[in-house]
Amino acid sequence: MTDGTREERDSLGAMTIPASAYWGIHTARALENFPITRRAIYNYPDLIRALAKVKQAAARANAEIGVMEADKAAIIDQVCQEIFDGALHAEFRVGVIQGGAGTSTNMNANEVIANRGLELMGFEKGDYAKLSPIDDVNRSQSTNDVYPTAIKLAMVYGVQRLLAEHKLLAGSFAAKGREFNHILKIGRTQLQDAVPMTLGQEFKGFAVTLAEDYDRLNETIPWLNEINMGATAIGTGITADHRYAESVCRHLIEVTGIHMETAADLIEATSDAGIFMTVSGTLKRAAVKLSKICNDLRLLSSGPQAGIGEINLPARQAGSSIMPGKVNPVIPEVVNQVAFSVIGADATVTAAAEGGQLQLNAFEPVIAHSILQSLSWMTNACFTLRVNCVDGISANIERLAMQVETSVGVVTALTPYIGYAAAATLAHTALTTNESIADLVVSTGLMTPEKVALVLSPERLSGMVANTAAITLPVLTQPTQT
């Protein structure tokens, strides 16, 4: 080791490594080979934490079955816990998108763990005769079982975090539903006036649709918990003791607190990427539905003077460099863009899953990047939508009341009592004269003021209370059968 560097060798030759680096020659080659995204795996802390837990479980299993010295296993175990707790993440330098089916990521982890272990043992970094990244840290393993297990575990961490924010967001919409429960408004179909409802019903609907996606996302976790540790290269378990697969799964459950199961067929499990399509597709569904809600928020708040203007979104920032006073719906807009990205990521995952050949899918790095990014962005989107938008939404009560009073949509509620033809005539008259439906139906003698007031009450118009026999419905004559 000279001039702040050290020399390391592999089967391709020697390279000079910074003496302070915990990564080694395999990471250095990856840094040269994959300058693609300039986005290192340290941008995905869940993946680093997952790798640490997989390596920790492997070390414990290797010690248990007697294929690794207990003192080496203990050092590896200690280092893995340090990494899980947040240490050395900046040393995970390789680009997240890489050739080699994740080998560079696995070797980056092996080298960081080995060199930190050497440091704890009192040796210099790179002295791999004392603790080897491959012979010790990677004992009984292959990238082809470590990497898919780690990215699945990372996705579980990501899904759990998304579920927490998703639930809070649904709760915020539900709270607004209760707050707006008795505020009547006009519902719309195909952007045209339809029939009355309450603003609370609209926001409760947002909460319910989010709750449905919470359930679907939660259902992906058990599928992610099927692992192929012990498969090694292609699923045959070559280089691993026959006791290892059961032992490492048990230890992985112990160190993560998450129930996991070893796949019944390790060859199939090593080549199949179906679960990633399931997770990605479920994320896309949640993103699309969240984006639709944001579209609705932007429409409902449009204006504020020349648009629909039924609700007011919190003003978060000046909306224009040229138009004074303009405020844009920036929070729903950014969530829309997150959804667009998730949709595109799902297409990438689909193509990558299809592109695998024979006993291994070489494209799991881009699958991991796509899904982990989507999970992170969706989590952040749910947070900012809740805190910076939904919690501060207010109703434009006067405008809502005016729209209901002048809307011909309420005539639909009268059709059971006066018939469709008469109701259509009244609607046409109201549109041309701007008279209220209530006044017209009374003035034409079709119903008494008392009956009109009952039928057009907010509770009945919104369906919040069921129709009763308080007003007798007309008996329709059935056509004679011939």
Q: Which residues are catalytic?
A: 320
Percent of the chain with pLDDT over 90: 73
pLDDT digits (tens, 9 = 90+) for 185-215: 988 989 888 888 899 999 999 999 999 999 9
pLDDT at 307: 87
194 backbone dihedrals φ, ψ, rounded to 5°: -120, -115
pTM of the model: 0.88
pLDDT digits (tens, 9 = 90+) for 438-478: 888 888 888 888 887 787 776 677 666 655 444 444 444 55
CA atoms within 13 A on the CB side of 94: 31
pLDDT at 327: 78
- Antiparallel, parallel or unpaired: β 184-189 and 311-312: unpaired
Tokens of 347: 């297409």
Strand partners, 196: 186
Task: Kindly state the average pLDDT of the residues 234-246.
Answer: 96
pLDDT digits (tens, 9 = 90+) for 68-88: 999 999 999 999 999 999 999
pLDDT digits (tens, 9 = 90+) for 343-352: 999 999 999 9
Contact in structure between 56 and 81 (CB atoms under 8 Å): yes
pLDDT at 433: 82
pLDDT at 428: 83
pLDDT digits (tens, 9 = 90+) for 413-445: 788 888 888 888 888 888 888 777 788 888 888
Strand partners, 14: 9
pLDDT at 444: 85
Contact in structure between 395 and 198 (CB atoms under 8 Å): no
Tokens of 445: 């003698």
Percent of the chain with pLDDT over 70: 93
Number of continuous H segments (helices) and E segments (strands) in the chain: 18, 8
pLDDT at 470: 44
Higher pLDDT, 325 or 149: 149
CA distance 297 to 43: 32
pLDDT at 467: 54
Q: How far is CA 251 from CA 14, 58, 130, 314, in A?
A: 36, 8, 25, 49
pLDDT at 481: 52
pLDDT at 466: 55
